Structure 1
Amino acid sequence: MPGRELGNSIGVGHITGQEADSRITPKVLRQSLQALEHDGLIVRTVHAGPARHVEYELTSLGRSLLGLLDAARSGAEAHLDELIDAREAASPANRSS
C-alpha cells in the first residue's frame, strides 16, 4: 500500500543534521553510531578546522554485511503490509485488557 512506512531507514550517503529524520533524537543517533563503532562496523573520523565535521565510514566488516541487510530489506518490503498490520494489531491501543 503506497505511503505506508515500517520505520526509519538511513541509506549510505551524506546526511546533515537538517536532513536527519526528526524522530531520531541526537542522543539515540549518537548511541547507535557509538555501538556500530564499538562493534567494528564503522569508523569515525573527526576533521578539525574552521569547518569541523565528523565522517562515518563502513569498515570491511560493515561492508561485508550489506548483502545480508539488503536481503532483509527486500524481504521486509515484500511483506510490508503484513508487518505493518502485525505492528498495528500489537499496539497498546488495539489490545484488549
Structure 2
Amino acid sequence: MLGSVFAWYRDLEDLSVQDFARRLGCTVETLYWVSLCRKPEGAAFSEHVNQIADHFGIDAFELSKVLRDMEATAALLATENSPLEPEARAVLMAALDREKNS
C-alpha cells in the first residue's frame, strides 16, 4: 500500500503530513485516500502512477519521484556494501521491514 511508502518517505525527509500533502498538490484528506492505493510496480508503473494522479488530482511527477526515491533507498539498503553508517542502516532497515509487514 502507498501509505507505508508515504510514511517511510515522510520519516526520511522529516515531513509533516501537511507538508507531504502540499508536495503532492493535494489536501490531507486526499492524501489519506491515496494512501489506500496499491503501490505501482513493474511494467505498468507509469500507467498506474498516472491513473492514481488523475483520479485523485495529485502531481504525477511528484508521486513518481517519491516512489522511485523509495525504491532506490530500498535497493541501497539491500546491498551488503551499503555506504551507510551501521546505525543509519539499522534505522532504514527497520523502516523497510515495517513497510513489508504492512
- Structure scoring higher RCO (CA < 8 A, sep ≥ 6) equals 2
Q: Which of the two has greater helix per residue?
A: 2
TM-score band w.r.t. shorter chain: 0.3 to 0.5
Q: Which of the two has greater strand per residue?
A: 1
**Structure with bigger gyration radius:** 1
Question: TM-score, length-normalised on structure 1?
Answer: 0.35
